[in-house]
A and B are shown apart, each in its own frame.
Chain A
């Protein structure tokens, strides 16, 4: 298909899977030397965050960053089913997206911006890849176990105000707000713990927190102990990854401003 837009939707390969991505070309000249890869959250959180992350990509492109938003395998418009997804494939998806953005834009250094589980996976990737010079962790999942408990609770709450289905669950795992959660995936996620990972010392980090209830002290302390250069901001804003009563999709401008301001000054 032909396009004359500054946003380019396309597919690219990742280990036999086909990922959907949206490339946001930088809108000012000269563009910056670093590019941004946005790592979205999973399942229902992906749906609710999509609007905010598209706007974030636009704002980052406005200040000169080439940006790639992509859907993980089994999510959004990428190939595969969520039932078959696993963490190793998703980590490979981030690596492939980094390569894709570097080849498209010519940048060498990459900043990963991850939300929730996408943030946890960005953190892991940053520890493994030299080219990742900065990571933004937006309300990251620090403990996979706590995350699984949280989404199970959300599903139980949702069932309270919804008719109970007449038909039995026909797949082997659980489900959360219309998305499957396989046993393999829930086990893998439950094992995630950012406090057990050793990040790369040269990677700058920014943790931005909108959820007042979450406690990121342990993560910040962990980063401090490891000698990581990091900033932390608590920004009062809605939890955009959660379903709203009226089905609206929220865009937390305050958070987007913080992320753009931090990346603009650091990269």
Chain B
């Protein structure tokens, strides 16, 4: 990691009740367009702002040399931030707190445009915030949970993850067959996982149709607003199936037209628990963040040319 960057990091507290704990990583150079862009990293689930495998720290410190300012912080009740005094539900408080994070970087660093980066539920918060805040120019959504089944318990969620693993990888793996045929597999777990997985896939369209409709509506609105949305998915995560199913034809179409991006990190799991997968994830994140800024610059140039060409005839007449 860049020694200069880590030594310049600053810890602090911000937000409505000055209780959100975060770390700002300043850019190593202030002379780029990226320096005008803040990247805000949103808690991946309940894990604090360091992230599984310390990935958020690595990402923040890798963004600095290419000119970005980043802020990784904890939502209320997660990591170092205390719980909120009100009873606002997480889906609302997290969006409000993400906007507070943007306000904070705007006030202290003069940053006015943002890329939101989040994993799992953090990706959902990034998406929802992008829908309601025009300062967001891009969203990097890692293992986006397109469907949320409030009735699903932890064990069932674990079974869905296991089903994705069996279907995509274990079935093609000789070692797995070896364990199955030599009595080393957990047969009860295997049967219940397969049963639940098949049931889930058959019923998915019915149960999530309203949620899916809303997701597509919001996605289309973001694309029309020229917010650059990138979904980054682990191949071994069941959320990839959910995303494809929920996004349906719209997702395919927008992806084919390159109006959104869908990057799949092959053979990785939900938390990128292999170091080589973490490196591949980092590579994608940095490339996409740079491209988002580049594209915003081009868009700005194009609109300024268009404005000039519409003013010129008036001046000539």
A interface residues with partner B (beta carbon < 8 Å)? 1-5, 7-11, 18, 20, 22, 44, 47, 50-51, 54, 75-77, 79-82, 158, 161-171, 175, 177-180, 244-249
Q: A47-B47, A245-B154, A246-B154 are in contact. Are A170 and B273 (CB under 8 A)?
A: no
Q: A76-B54, A76-B57, A82-B54 are in contact. Are A9 and B269 (CB under 8 A)?
A: no
Instruction: Please report the C-alpha to C-alpha distance between residue A59 and residue B155 in the assembled complex, in whole angstroms.
Output: 31
Q: Which residues of A contact B13 (CB under 8 A)?
A: 1-3, 5, 7-9
10 tightest A-B contacts by CB?
A1-B12, A178-B53, A246-B154, A79-B6, A9-B11, A167-B276, A3-B13, A163-B267, A178-B273, A163-B169
> From residue A102, how far is it (CB to closest CB) to chain B in Å?
20
**Do most interface residues of chain A lie in helix, strand or loop, or is the interface mixed?**
loop
Contacts beyond the supplied A1-B10, A167-B277: 8 A-B pairs with Cβ under 8 Å: A1-B11, A1-B14, A2-B13, A20-B11, A50-B50, A161-B162, A178-B52, A246-B154
Are B155 and A77 in contact, CB atoms less than 8 angstroms apart? no
- Tally of contacts, chain A with chain B, CB under 8 A: 141
Query: Is B246 positioned at the interface, with any CB of A under 8 Å from its CB?
Result: no
Q: A161-B162, A162-B236 are in contact. Are A9 and B21 (CB under 8 A)?
A: yes
Cβ-defined partner of B80 (8 Å) among A22, A167, A168 = A22
Query: Is B7 positioned at the interface, with any CB of A under 8 Å from its CB?
Result: yes
Q: Which residues of A contact B11 (CB under 8 A)?
A: 1, 9-11, 20, 77
Instruction: Please report the C-alpha to C-alpha distance between residue A156 and residue B52 in the assembled complex, in whole angstroms.
Output: 18
Between-chain CB contacts (< 8 Å), 30 pairs: A7-B21, A7-B82, A9-B12, A9-B13, A9-B23, A18-B7, A20-B23, A47-B47, A50-B48, A50-B50, A77-B9, A79-B1, A79-B3, A79-B9, A81-B1, A161-B165, A162-B236, A163-B235, A167-B280, A169-B275, A170-B275, A171-B275, A178-B52, A178-B53, A178-B272, A178-B275, A178-B278, A179-B54, A246-B154, A248-B46
Q: A9-B12, A47-B47 are in contact. Are A4 and B18 (CB under 8 A)?
A: yes
Q: Which residues of B contact A8 (CB under 8 A)?
A: 13
Cβ-defined partner of A165 (8 Å) among B6, B46, B154, B276 = B276
Instruction: Please report the C-alpha to C-alpha distance between residue A167 and residue B277 in the assembled complex, in whole angstroms.
Output: 8
Contact with A along B73-104 (1 / 0, CB 8 A): 00000011010000000000000000000000
Query: Is B268 positioned at the interface, with any CB of A under 8 Å from its CB?
Result: yes
Query: Is B209 positioned at the interface, with any CB of A under 8 Å from its CB?
Result: no
Q: Which residues of A contact B268 (CB under 8 A)?
A: 163, 165
